[in-house]
Amino acid sequence: MSIESDFRGWLTGAAGVTALVPAASIAQNEVGEGIAPPYIAFEIQRLPDYGLDNTLLSTQITASVGCWATAPGSADAIADAVTTALAAEDVVVTQRGSTFNPETGLDGTTLVAEWFL
């Protein structure tokens, strides 16, 4: 499986997350048109770490997660559930913020999570 598939599986496999957001509303990069809130969209970045002899030592993975809902409290609750699900996989949330999308009228809580492979 890919890192993206694993990450989505961690979220869709967590009862606390899917109690708030249907699995079909959890997507990589963007949520499809016509999907009603709440939803979660995530992006994954990889940063390889090489030794002096060009040997791959590890890869730092960074996930940017947007938790979107019709109210700030709902977005925060989703982010709390995502944080708990990721902690179960030994993934650390290193940043958390709030946002608003004036085009959709949705409130969001953003997370940055990091781990190493």
1 pLDDT more than 70: no
Taking all residues of the chain, what is their mean pLDDT, rounded to a whole number?
93
Domain boundaries, the chain: 3-116
Average pLDDT over residues 83-94: 95
Q: What percent of the chain has pLDDT over 70?
A: 99
Superfamily per CATH, domain 3-116: Phage minor tail protein U (3.30.70.1700)
113 pLDDT more than 90: yes
> How do residues 31-79 score in pLDDT, each as one tens digit?
888 888 999 999 999 998 899 999 999 889 999 999 999 999 999 999 9
Q: Could you give the C-alpha distances from 65 to 20, 35, 56, 58, 72, in angstroms and in order?
A: 15, 17, 27, 22, 15
